[in-house]
Amino acid sequence: MIRFNHEHAHPFLEAGALEKAVAQTRDAFAKVQNKTGHGPEWLGWRDLLSKPNDALLNEIDRLAASIREDADVFIVCGIGGSYLGARAVIDALSPFFAGKGPEIIYAGHQISGSYLRDLVKWLSIPKEDGSAKQVYMNVISKSGTTTETALAFRILRKWIHDTYEEPKKHIICTTSAEGGALNKIIDSNGYKKFVLPDDIGGRFSVLTPVGLLPVAVAGHDIRNLFYGAVSAYRETEEQPEKLLTYAATRLALYKSGKAMDMIASFEPELGGMGGWMQQLFGESEGKNGKGMFPVLLGYSTDLHSVGQMVQEGKRNVMETFLVVDQDRASLKVEAETEDTDGLNYLSGKSFHEINTKAFQGTREAHVEGGVPCISIHFDKLDEEHLGRFIYLCELAIAVYVYCLDENPFDQPGVEAYKKAMFRLLGKPGA
């Protein structure tokens, strides 16, 4: 299960503030359910779970299995919502070093020439047995026109066409049903295509082929991921209170003057999930001068960089901890005869116990320092729990942003940098 703990946040709220926020979130949830709020045409991420498409899951699984059999490298080419969800799940579930299956590499998520140059150089180096690396690429872009992704795709597609006799086999595209430059390229080259439905925005698309194909190629069970989300969907339709209390707590803290939500975890494998959440929350709530800035922190590493700021800086911050309750490493500290490093007091303790105390101690200190803290607990870190978590975050932010009277599903502000960049680059018509 996914559990929300608000006991270190509620004491910071004025009497009645939570109850008022809960009532607001109830109304907002009804708008989500009845499609009567802002952007009702963008609620496909819920419909997807109410009518699971097993045939699509099977098709993705089959293709992923054949890619896994052949590929040494699988490139996920996309930016923002087109890659962060896949990366979050893959990072959470894959071993830190030397996993099985193809190496997953990301591209098209920035415009660095040196990154692409080095990537192409490295892809071109043969394997130890002298044969060429088998490289597959999934380019993901709903609009099919995003500059970062399109530029990387142009370079990598050329490399694939120059390298393989059957380049078509190596390129899979995920985009909208029609329109956009990517669809033209697909049509003229006959690449395999998955469709991202029009009613699902990029950052809400992880449970579509956008996220599912890369996750399946990485060797993870997309059925458990998807059906974890389906379970969370069904449960919250019946009993939304816990989720609404989370959204309401965040809302009440925002209304009390909090300007930043620091998303922190002591589990490095959840760094990607924090990054996905950061984008989901940031792009959904940062509108018309409203919203909390989502900040991503990796503890305990960042306690040694910005810990001072969290503890004693300006008191306009709240903190959201992502916690895994299960011990997955079973690594213990052994006693040494000579306690030269002074660590024998920890002997017999697991790293999980030590990390848990570090989390609890940090939360205690931050609460004492005036930072309201919410903790979101995963019983376990597996596909099912990640699926549940993804849906709960999507629903929580939709409900919360409705309470701000904004549209959670658009991102008009993202166009501003593009406009200026295109003008500076001399793009025709810009």
Q: With CB under 6 A as the contact rule, which of the stretches 138-146, 342-350, 366-374, 417-425 interacts with ligand PA5?
A: 138-146
The correct pick among 20, 59, 143, 333 for binding ligand PA5 (CB under 6 A) is 143
Residue 287 binding ligand PA5, by CB under 6 A: no
**Catalytic residue status for 283:** yes
| Residue in 51, 100, 304, 314 annotated catalytic | 304
The correct pick among 9, 12, 46, 82 for binding ligand PA5 (CB under 6 A) is 82
Question: Mapping DSSP to helix (H, G, I), strand (E, B) and coil, where does residue 358 land?
Answer: helix
* Cα torsion angle, 292, 294, 295, 300, sign: positive
Residue 109 binding ligand PA5, by CB under 6 A: no
User: Which of positions 407-426 make contact with ligand PA5 (CB under 6 A)?
Assistant: 411
The correct pick among 81, 209, 294, 372 for binding ligand PA5 (CB under 6 A) is 81
Residue 102 binding ligand PA5, by CB under 6 A: no
Q: How far apart are CA 76 and CA 216, in angstroms?
A: 12
Q: How far apart are CA 280 and CA 395, in angstroms?
A: 11
Encoded amino acid at 221, one letter: D
The correct pick among 25, 94, 146, 208 for binding ligand PA5 (CB under 6 A) is 146
**DSSP-assigned letter for residue 334:** P
Cα separations in angstroms, 427 against 142, 147, 181, 382, 422? 21, 11, 15, 45, 5
Is the Cβ of residue 202 or residue 275 nearer to ligand PA5 in the bound state? 202
Smallest Cα–Cα separation from 233: which of 52, 61, 408? 52
| Residue in 20, 193, 242, 418 annotated catalytic | 418
Three-state SS string over 1-54 comes to: CEEEECCCCHHHCCCCHHHHHHHHHHHHHHHHHHCCCCCHHHCHHHHHHHCCCH
| Residue in 148, 269, 283, 285 annotated catalytic | 283
**Catalytic residue status for 287:** no
* Cα torsion angle, 147, 415, 197, 274, sign: positive
**Catalytic residue status for 10:** no
Three-state SS string over 238-263 comes to: HCCHHHHHHHHHHHHHHHCCCCEEEE
Residue 141 binding ligand PA5, by CB under 6 A: yes
Q: Which helix (H) or strand (E) holds 72?
A: none
Residue 272 binding ligand PA5, by CB under 6 A: no
Residue 79 binding ligand PA5, by CB under 6 A: yes
Would you give the binding string for ligand PA5 spanning residues 39-78, x where CB under 6 A is met?
A: ----------------------------------------
Contact positions vs ligand PA5 (CB under 6 A)? 79-82, 141-143, 146, 149, 201-203, 283, 411
| Catalytic residue positions, numbered | 283, 304, 418
